Amino acid sequence: MKFTADLSRAHQLDAQDELASFRDRFVLSDPDLIYLDGNSLGRLPKATVRHLGEAIEHQWGERLIRGWNEGWFQKPHELGAKIAQLIGAQPDEVVVGDTTSINLFKLVVAALRAYPGRKKIVSDELNFPSDLYVFQGVIDLLAAGHELELIPSRDTISIQREDVEATLGEDTALLALTHVAFKSAFMYDMEHITKLAHQAGGLALWDLSHSVGAVPLKLNAWDVDLAVGCTYKYLNGGPGSPAFLYVRRELQEQLMQPIWGWFATKAPFDFNLDFTPAEGMSRFQISTPQVLSMLGLEPALDILLEAGMDRLREKSVRQTEYLIFLAREWLLPLGFSLGSPLDSAQRGSHVSLRHPEGYRISRAMIESPPLDRDVATQAGPDRPGTPAVIPDFRTPDNIRLGIAPLYTSFTDIHRALGRMREIVTEGIYREYSKKRLEVT
């Protein structure tokens, strides 16, 4: 695909985009807000506003406790079956509930206890720190001599296959990795790496938080054992929406998670005094599901299924390539560097641009226009105002630009990078403080 840097090319790419109409399914209240943080918190689907409002009014308001037998009880499995379609799994291999970190804890304990003779968890230096903390906490809790070994990154962006191979060994119980790295968007070849874990005799667990809804996944075909993932990023489930977990069918009866709540039992409403684990995915649940949060996720999943993961990935690749093209034209000469893999086969759906002043530049992008600049008066139908651009910042110098192909347009990307160029060439970022906010 041939790109040029003029705005008319962005308009043309939008006109040719067969997924462009999905943008209208989302609440976009401010035309001058360019949202490139769908990889942290996805946008609100219009259908969710109606669906949740109606659920609160009628299901909770009128049906009250009867709601449990009218769909709530099965909701974690029903939504799990929808997510299964997005990740290439069977409907009875996925259940929704709890948070990603809690699900990770459950599955790591289950996996380590299934391999008592093996003492090593292998992960990597690019992993999301919360995942690494969970591993460390499990090791501390089990007090059985386990160790965590991290595969090093040679360039802080990617991980080499040979380094994965060299870290795995006969003592490996579990290889636990995040499919798409949160800072650099480096993406593993999940099929190949899973095979390496199996050759070493261990299980493979993948955190899909930065890939589900952005990249087609084939967990069954790739022989993946275990997975967790979050639903408030590319799945657009809303702040704090429940996570999911996947357990390959043949492993379900062999593994047991450590928090034995009543929803993990065979018959919660028999109220037996002794715990008997449920069959299938129910044993990986703990207790009462977060019903309203689950209902908030429902319409969002339907939109993704309608758009189709292959088409979404194709658009995402075209958009990250376009973003990198513009970055090379406009930003690399200004001191930015690319913090993501150049090869789209090794890249998820966001692009990191690094700059020594990354933090202040990101503040200037978000708080635009600055209070003492009167740019709003220049706005009009033909001349949009200075856009506020929302990326996120990841220490020390990464500005992450997330592409959510359901609602990101090529024009968004063009305007966002144009604004970044202006912020640096005009020194606008200098008006902002270096002091970091609590959430970046």
Ligand X SMILES: *Cc1c(COP(=O)(O)O)cnc(C)c1O
Residue 211 interacts with ligand X (CB under 6 A): yes or no: no
Residue 411 interacts with ligand X (CB under 6 A): yes or no: no
CB nearer ligand X, residue 42 or residue 299: 42
Which residues, in sequence order, are bridge partners of residue 174?
A: 121, 203
Stretch that binds ligand X, among 204-212, 275-283, 305-313, 398-406 (CB under 6 A): 204-212
Residue 178 interacts with ligand X (CB under 6 A): yes or no: yes
For 358-393, letters b (16+ CB in 10 Å) and e give: bbbbbbbbbebbeeeeeeeeeeeeeeeebbbbbbbb
Catalytic pick among 22, 182, 188, 232: 232
CA distance 108 to 104: 6
Question: What is the nearest approach in angstroms of ligand X to the Cβ of residue 332?
Answer: 27
CB nearer ligand X, residue 394 or residue 415: 394
CB nearer ligand X, residue 172 or residue 209: 209
CA distance 141 to 37: 35
CB nearer ligand X, residue 79 or residue 331: 79
Catalytic pick among 183, 400, 415, 419: 400
Stretch that binds ligand X, among 205-213, 286-294, 306-314, 374-382 (CB under 6 A): 205-213
Q: DSSP 3-state assignment of 395?
A: coil
Residue 340 interacts with ligand X (CB under 6 A): yes or no: no
Contact 188, 177 (CB under 8 A): yes
- The residue type found at 399 is I
Question: What is the nearest approach in angstroms of ligand X to the Cβ of residue 159?
Answer: 14
Stretch that binds ligand X, among 3-11, 51-59, 98-106, 408-416 (CB under 6 A): 98-106
Residue of 48, 100, 158, 167 interacting with ligand X (CB under 6 A) = 100
Active site residue 400: yes
CB nearer ligand X, residue 10 or residue 159: 159
Residue of 37, 93, 124, 131 interacting with ligand X (CB under 6 A) = 131
CA distance 167 to 121: 10
Catalytic pick among 98, 131, 207, 397: 207
Question: What is the nearest approach in angstroms of ligand X to the Cβ of residue 70?
Answer: 28
CB nearer ligand X, residue 175 or residue 230: 230
Q: DSSP 3-state assignment of 122?
A: strand
Active site residue 223: no
Residue 230 interacts with ligand X (CB under 6 A): yes or no: yes
Question: What is the nearest approach in angstroms of ligand X to the Cβ of residue 207?
Answer: 4
Residue 101 interacts with ligand X (CB under 6 A): yes or no: yes
Catalytic pick among 22, 105, 128, 359: 128
Tokens of 197: 């874990």
Stretch that binds ligand X, among 123-131, 246-254, 350-358, 366-374 (CB under 6 A): 123-131
Residue 209 interacts with ligand X (CB under 6 A): yes or no: yes
Nearest to 219 by CA among 230, 204, 234, 209: 204
Contact 172, 203 (CB under 8 A): no
Would you give the distance in Å from CA 312 to the centre of its chain? Answer: 15
Tokens of 212: 């589900």
Nearest to 47 by CA among 306, 243, 230: 306
Residue 130 interacts with ligand X (CB under 6 A): yes or no: yes
Q: How many CB atoms lie within 10 A of CB 272?
A: 12
Residue in the block written with tokens 């790419």: 13
Residue of 72, 128, 336, 429 interacting with ligand X (CB under 6 A) = 128
Residue 135 interacts with ligand X (CB under 6 A): yes or no: no
Would you give the distance in Å from CA 247 to the centre of its chain? Answer: 19
Contact 358, 395 (CB under 8 A): no
Residue 210 interacts with ligand X (CB under 6 A): yes or no: yes
Active site residue 140: no
Active site residue 128: yes
Residue 182 interacts with ligand X (CB under 6 A): yes or no: yes
Active site residue 82: no
SS3 readout for 278-331: CCHHHHHCCCCCCHHHHHHHHHHHHHHHHHCHHHHHHHHHHHHHHHHHHHHHHH
Cis peptide before 396 (omega within 30 of 0): yes
Kindly list the residues in this chain that would bind ligand X in the complex (CB under 6 A).
99-101, 128, 130-131, 178, 182, 207, 209-210, 230, 243
Query: Which residues are annotated as catalytic?
Result: 128, 207, 232-233, 400
